[in-house]
Amino acid sequence: MKENLMKWINNIQQQDGVPPKDVIAFNFGIYEDEKGYRMYLVGSFEYDENDDDWAIIELPTKMHRYLSLPKELELQTWEEVLEYCANELKELEKEGKLNIPLFENVVAITIGFDDGDLIRIR
């Protein structure tokens, strides 16, 4: 899945360009709909490590900001899906693959289900 994540992230960067310097955090949101689990990416001008409400941001309107997660995850609990996705992103961060212009100025990258606690990646 890491390869698909990087293709998706690079496509977002290619389509949207580098965000303004005052975008200081990104959240990979996850939700489930009738087609399975999906992930989206949003940036924020705010970040508070003690209050996850900073990530309550208007959902993206551009479809390229959404990624359908692998079908095999549909059989997993939401907790297992979150853990799997967080681990994939943590590995990408550890490997330096998230050191791209899209995330250049951010102090935090997180992941979490809508209405749930966030896991910090950076």
Centre a 10 Å sphere on the Cβ of residue 69 and count the other Cβ atoms it contains: 21
d(CA 89, CA 15): 21
Model pTM? 0.93
pLDDT score recorded for residue 87: 98
Are residues 2 and 92 in contact, defined by beta-carbon separation less than 8 angstroms? yes
Number of domains in the chain: 1
Provide the residue range defining the domain that includes 83: 2-120
The tens-digit pLDDT sequence of the chain (122 residues) is 999 999 999 999 999 999 999 999 999 999 999 989 999 999 999 999 998 888 888 888 899 999 999 999 999 999 999 999 999 999 999 999 999 999 998 999 999 998 889 999 99
pLDDT score recorded for residue 106: 95
pLDDT score recorded for residue 30: 97
